[in-house]
Structure 1
Amino acid sequence: MKGDFSKIVNGKTPVLVDFHAEWCGPCKAQSPIIDDLAKEVNGKVRIIKIDIDKNQPVAQRYNVKGVPTLALFKEGQIVWRQSGVQSKAQLMAVITQHT
């Protein structure tokens, strides 16, 4: 993973984390939604993708059991978390509510 995860999620900018895996079918469906969302929320929220197989300590620290799991961090705290594929509208609503 590029950068220090703790440093990223503890920053002033809210961070949406997409915990995913290469082998996960629903993750492949979530990916273009996340990419599209990133273009729309540019600057308001930072979006990062975490491959749970390559970043097992981070996945374990946040008890990620299923993928995709999305979590919104605000100054280091999880303010929202959901497993399963989320629509762009659902994610926009969460971001709007917490920013």
Structure 2
Amino acid sequence: MPHIFDDSVTAAVLHHMNDDHTDDNLLIARAFSEPGDSEITGAVMTGFDGDAGTWTVSRGEDETVLVVPWPSGSITERPEVRREIVALYDAACERLGVEPRPHA
């Protein structure tokens, strides 16, 4: 059974990802969809648990759900969520041949 984060943690992470990192959501969706799908027009992070992040991915009028496992495996602590999302971003950049920006 994957770890379930408190609602306040989930809301804060989703707010941050969907307000401040919309391009990162799109990059992750394009990189981890099968195959790396350049037809994706939008991606919104809709949830996460201790095993994976979840995005709703748009291709025109169609929407699908994309679940991407955390690169380091299962997590249980809030700081680990950031670490894993950054790792997904870095992996997405590598898969798509995009220069990643520095992490603060």
Which TM bucket (shorter chain)?
0.3 to 0.5
Higher RCO, 1 or 2 (CA under 8 Å, sep at least 6)?
1
TM-score where L is the length of structure 1: 0.36
TM-score where L is the length of structure 2: 0.35
Q: Highest CA radius of gyration, 1 or 2? A: 2
